[in-house]
Structure 1
Amino acid sequence: MGTQLKKGLATLALLAACGAAQADPQVFNAALSGAAEAPPNGSAATGDVTVLFDIDNHYMTIAASFTDLEGLSGAAHIHCCTAVPGDGNAGVATMLPTFTGFPANETSGSYASFFDTSQASFWNPSFLANHGGTTAGAEAALMAGLNAGAAYFNIHSSVYPSGEIRGFLAAPIPEPAQILMLLAGLPLLFLRKREN
């Protein structure tokens, strides 16, 4: 096989891998607690959330559960973006007064929903205005905040109206199969570099 053909195949393989990675929805998880609030509170409530955000196809899915709130559930949002990743407070990025259909007046519950992020109604009007007044600007800002660890999911309650439990959203650690797939591309890079 000629050197140019090998280089071309290696380049195509890398471009395909990069293109596939960009097109895939991104997943972010968080464990929710009162200790993660700012300032922390004494709530023994817990919860978890998984957010799947596909910025290319303009949708987000949210799956959350919570248990043992001291107050009754009132609202849930994604807040973005804190000045320091994993710390501090930020304004609400998503719809007001709460996610459509989020369980109200409950101490425990679960939630799952799908949202079209190309709709202005998904966004807090202030967040939208602060990011160019477009849904594309809001999507890009939230994705940047999520990737930076500067966005959090918050559940507000009657006892803790500013937030009873929250957690900063983070991408999960890659599965072993994903790591192996990434490592599989290293020989192509090595081969390409060696031939240059």
Structure 2
Amino acid sequence: MASFSDSHFDLFDLPSTFGVDQQKLDDAYRTVQAQVHPDRFASAGDVQRRLAMQWATRANEAYHTLHDPLKRARYMLSLRGIDVGAKNNTAMEPAFLMQQMKWRENIEDAAGAKNVGALEALIDELCDEERVRFTKLEALIDSNSDQAASEAVRQLMFIERVAHEIGAQIERLEA
């Protein structure tokens, strides 16, 4: 078993690359959980039960981080000492800023017109954009282009947030 301070990748014995084999991650997670699940230590002493709980919590956190590509990217960059700075670094390339404004205007127009179809089309557009950007992000991370990867992560975080807002708009309109 890995040590408590090892990376999430080491915990699951996976290569430290952005492209994670989801089946291998799932299998490794189940293996680790089978070893450390607190139920296995129900009759053990307090210290062993507490350690089992800590390991199970660590395994859950590691799994959820590696399973989600955006969390995985942020984690990988943090391992390299790169803070994405999502809260205080809003600098983005001008073309993406223009695209943001266009998406916002389209959301406002569609919501104002109560056009659920247009909002759903925007979500589809964002999903397509997200797929393209994740492919680019993988190449950036795997080639150690950390600053560019950091900006790509911030852009993807924006896209994710906007998609969530559109989903909320659709729910309001359908209610």
More strand as a share of residues: 1
**Superposition TM-score tier, normalisation by shorter sequence:** under 0.3
Instruction: With a CA cutoff of 8 Å and minimum separation of 6, indicate the structure with the bigger relative contact order.
Output: 1
TM-score where L is the length of structure 2: 0.25
